[in-house]
């Protein structure tokens, strides 16, 4: 927590905050509209493009992005 807090102070407004929260597993604790269920469903992951599924039928979209 101390490292995260120091990084938030040091890199204020530089766009690192979101990725630090993801890295430390604290996204749902610090962002009001993101729930632990959203994190479990894959909100921290980028959605896959529809073209990716054309190339590989075994792929599936992250559950959060299927909603």
pLDDT in tens, 17-62: 888 899 999 999 989 999 999 999 999 998 988 888 888 889 989 8
Whether the full predicted model's pTM is greater than 0.75, yes or no, is no
Confidence of residue 15 (pLDDT cuts 50, 70, 90): confident
CB 63 within 8 A of CB 49: no
Report how far apart the first and last C-alpha atoms of the chain are (Å, whole number). Answer: 32
Measured CA to CA, the distance from residue 33 to residue 28 in angstroms comes to 8
Structure tokens at 18: 């979101």
pLDDT number for residue 10: 87
- Predicted local distance difference test score (pLDDT) of residue 28: 93
Q: Is the pLDDT of residue 67 over 80?
A: no
């Amino acid at each position: 927590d101390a490292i995260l807090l120091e990084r938030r102070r040091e890199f204020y407004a530089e766009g690192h905050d979101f990725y630090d929260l993801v890295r430390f597993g604290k996204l749902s604790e610090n962002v009001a509209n993101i729930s632990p269920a959203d994190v479990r469903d894959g909100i921290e992951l980028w959605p896959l493009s529809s073209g990716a599924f054309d190339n590989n039928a075994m792929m599936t979209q992250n559950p959060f992005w299927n909603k």
